[in-house]
Structure 1
Amino acid sequence: MKKYLAILVSLIIGSCVDPYRPPAISAPNTYLVVDGFLNGAGTSSIRLTRTQNLSDGKKPTVETKATVKVEGEKGGSQTFVDKGDGTYTLENGNLQFGQKYRVSIKTAAGRNYQSDYVVIKKTPKIDEVSWKVLQNEGIQFYVSTHDETNSTKYYRWEYEETWEFYSAFYSRVEYLKKAFVTRMDDINHCWGSLKSSGIFVGSTTQLTQDVINKAPLLFVSRTASNRLKYRYSLLVKQYAQTAESFEYWQNLKKNTESLGSIFDPQPFQVIGNIHGITDPTESVVGYLSGYSVEEKRIFVNSSELPTEWNVPSMYESCLPDTAPINATREKPSAAQQAESGAIPIDEIFSPFGAIIAYRMSSAYCVDCRTAGSNVRPSFW
């Protein structure tokens, strides 16, 4: 949903005198953004935020203290739990596959919104997540699945990447409370992670069988990052879609990935299935769907990749510096450098065993937490 703002504004078309600035860029409206789904086999989660102007440069404002309910077409309703951060969850909602439900929202300001009824679909299992070396420049990942009942037809995927990496230097010393002491935590070994930002959809409506065979997902370059340096993991999530939700995501994909010159097709507003009740003319960003979630995780070890690959560590330019105990005309002291943000690596001793300096470097080169987390993932 974060990319959806690009859909609400037109392209900025330059001219030789003054750039054209569409009114939408400075429009005061903040539309409700509804991001989430109804889970037929687990916890349902819906996040409410507000759109903002592209020039604001701020994080989206979360919509708190709202009342979110799910209502069955055959009657009955359940209220989501407000987590206080714009997220609303419903655990063990016992939503039934094949049945229709809708979501109603009442904000703290008293404005009401409602989705169309959506059917809860059961998602088939993922058959395989595979990969292959592509043109010796990286690896391409694929997903395969099928539905023996030939009833799914429409699919959508998201993924989460996780990779292991090491900073340039192992730090055994830290500067704490104006003193150099032995470091107790490991800030050299970390894991990075990213969630998919693109839109990945597939359909089997033109096929005789409901089979997706190696639909391409992401490509991971061997030179653009350190993701393939040691060990890499990809978690793929699969969602069954209705024809209507598939069309919504397909149109959104066209808008977010096909923007080019003024001679290319211009963006159009993608219409969701959530509407303003207090003000029927008010736009609402988002599309509510209902389905179960299927997941599959794979790992890629560096030993499985071509031996001639030289995957960068991303720390090639890192160098240590010697910081003296006492400041000199040429250099500030180790303590002064530490207070300015440098991270100590280890001690430098005199021939007599006294500490005379510390090796130090930037936080980026020493502390891997600047690019990830030093907490080992539970699945690693």
Structure 2
Amino acid sequence: MKQRQKHIIAYFLLFIFLVSCLEEVPLETQNSEIENLVVVEATITDQNIQQTIKLSFSKKFEEETFLPLSNAQVTVLSSEGGSFSFFEQSPGIYVSTNTFSANPESTYQLNVETPGGRRIISEQEQIAGSANIEEILAVPTINDKGIEGIALRVATSSLFGVTRFFRYEYQETYKIIAPNWNPFEFDIINDQFPDFEVGIKPRIEEQQTCFGNNSSLSIILNETVSNDGNDAFEFRFLSREDPFLAHRYSVNLVQYTQSAKAANYWKTLQDFSDQENIFSQVQPGFLSGNLESISDDNLVVGFFEVASVTQKRVFINRDDFYNQEENRPYFLDCSAIGATPLFSLGAHQMGVTTSPLIDAIRAGLIVYYGVNENPTDVLGPYFVTARECGDCTALGSNVKPEFWTD
């Protein structure tokens, strides 16, 4: 999600530059006006952890990347008199020296001093209430595009304060079972021309069942009508044909409460996540954050946010919703079975001294599927399948996550 946010901010900076130009000027000649803007990504939470702040410089837009802002002095000050210092854990990534949690009764301010002496401060920010995730619902439905699947919806309840605005992130994990897995694998016995020899041997590594992981990329926001609770909000839709839902699926949903100003900032970013909206009729300067440079007039992009955070994990089984006998979706079509030859007579006649089968095995393109009882000059001694179809480690990890339950 953070990488996605950086790309969206880049589009914002490009838009601000373009709409402020009255003449047609090549973009590359004007990059100095929008290069090296400081970009701040900072959310302090009520979890007692080492908090993280990310600082970077914008670069030329044709390069579509950001440069880390290193060697800065980063501090968060509280209205109670507390001072929390940060150190640079990796380029542009600053982590609090000690663990701390935001107190809902206090306000907080971010202070940054760059190596060049530039000073950046935020407005005073405070947690805007707290809310629990009551439950996550998995609801069979057909979405507005006519696609059948499972809607994942979250229901919340307020604990204190005005909790009308929420931002969500999620991490999802899913079981992968290779459909063409075989308990045997290739064993290259001799790779020297012309005495090529390939056998098979029992697999040692687990390659049938794996686990894939994915994180939310889009900005997910919700605004409730009242503070008395809200109807379940859909944060994710899984198509019936989504391979994530082929067997067992888990999602860990993280919920951030937001102030009205933070919600407005994120909503603006969300609106621009659709590239078609970049050139809509909006005046420059509309991306209103809460950061300013007090040592000069340069623009600072980003938002310093203080939020209450809660999270919840659920598991979903496909068999609880769909017929167990139907074909399960996969990441690619695994119906094609080949028989790569051990020798390629035509190639060898032209001086090639390698084996097509051995080359494909070593390149990680194919794995063993079965024995071909009727090999020919064109069809090799073994049936083969794409690696992704017979070895799940091509798509995920064969280590079961600690949180996973079957």
TM-score range, shorter chain: 0.7 to 0.9
Select 2:240's aligned residue among 222, 225, 237: 222
Matched, 1:173 2:169: no
Q: Is the 8 A contact 2:127 2:259 kept in 1?
A: no
Deviations along 1:197-236, one digit per CA (max 9) or x if unpaired, are 22232334x43x431221221211123x311111111211
1:30 offset after TM fit, Å? 2.8
Pairing partner for 1:302 from 318, 323, 340: 318
Is the alpha carbon distance of 1:21 and 1:9 closer, same or farther for their aligned partners in structure 2, counting shifts above 3 Å? Answer: farther
Deviation at 1:129, TM superposition (A): 1.1
Report the structure, 1 or 2, having the larger helix content. 2
Q: Distance in 2 between matches of 1:164 and 1:267?
A: 47
C-alpha displacement of 1:330: 6.8
- 1:300-337 per-residue CA deviation (whole Å, 9 max, x = no partner) reads 10111132865421232553433444554379343223
Contact 1:25–1:55 under 8 Å retained in 2: no
TM-score, structure 2 as length reference: 0.77
Q: 1:138 aligns with which of 132, 149, 162?
A: 149
Distance, in Å, in 2 between the alignment partners of 1:293 and 1:371 is 31
Partner of 1:17: none
- Kindly provide the CA deviation profile for residues 241-265 of structure 1, in whole angstroms up to 9, marking residues without a partner as x: 1122122222222232484496x54
Amino acid across the alignment from 1:190: C
Residues in 2 aligned to 1:289 and 1:124: alpha-carbon distance in whole angstroms: 17
The answer to whether the 8 Å contact 2:141/2:150 transfers is: yes
Aligned in 2, Cα 1:310/1:214: closer, same or farther, shift over 3 Å? farther
Given that residues 70 and 92 in structure 2 are in contact (C-alpha distance below 8 angstroms), is that contact kept between their aligned partners in structure 1?
yes
Tell me which residue corresponds to 2:102.
95
Q: Distance in 1 between matches of 2:25 and 2:238?
A: 36
Name the CA distance, whole Å, in 2 between partners of 1:80 and 1:163: 35
Equivalent residue number for residue 27 of structure 2: 23
Is the alpha carbon distance of 1:261 and 1:4 closer, same or farther for their aligned partners in structure 2, counting shifts above 3 Å?
Answer: closer
Q: For residues 322-376 of structure 1, what are the alpha-carbon distances to aligned partners after superposition, in whole Å with 9 as ceiling and x for unaligned?
A: 344455437934322334443332674889xxxx845444444444344333332
Asked whether 1:338 is paired with 2:361, we answer yes
1:254 aligns with 2:271: yes
The residue number in structure 2 matching 1:376 is 400
Q: Runs of 5+ in structure 1 lacking a partner? A: 14-19
Q: Deviations over 1:9-36 (max 9, x none)?
A: 23999xxxxxx88738962403222223
Count of aligned residue pairs for this structure pair = 364
Secondary structure of 2:130's partner?
Answer: coil
Is 2:210 the counterpart of 1:203? Answer: no
Partner residue, 1:9: 14
| Match among 78, 97, 102 for residue 72 of structure 1 | 78
SS at match of 2:266: helix
CA distance in 1, matches of 2:346, 2:109: 71
Measured after TM superposition, the shift of residue 54 of structure 1 is 4.1
Q: CA RMSD in A?
A: 3.4
State the distance in 2 between where 1:26 and 1:362 align: 49
- Partner residue of 1:291 out of 299, 307, 320: 307
Letter in 2 for 1:234: V
Question: Which residue identity does 1:376 align to in structure 2?
Answer: K
- For structure 1, which segment, 339-348 or 123-132, has the greater mean C-alpha deviation from structure 2 after superposition? 339-348
User: Structure 1 length as normaliser, TM-score?
Assistant: 0.82
Partner of 2:270: helix, strand, or coil?
A: helix
In the alignment, residue 223 of structure 2 is paired with which amino acid? Answer: S
2:251 alignment partner, one of 230, 234, 243:
234
Q: Equivalent residue for 2:165?
A: 154
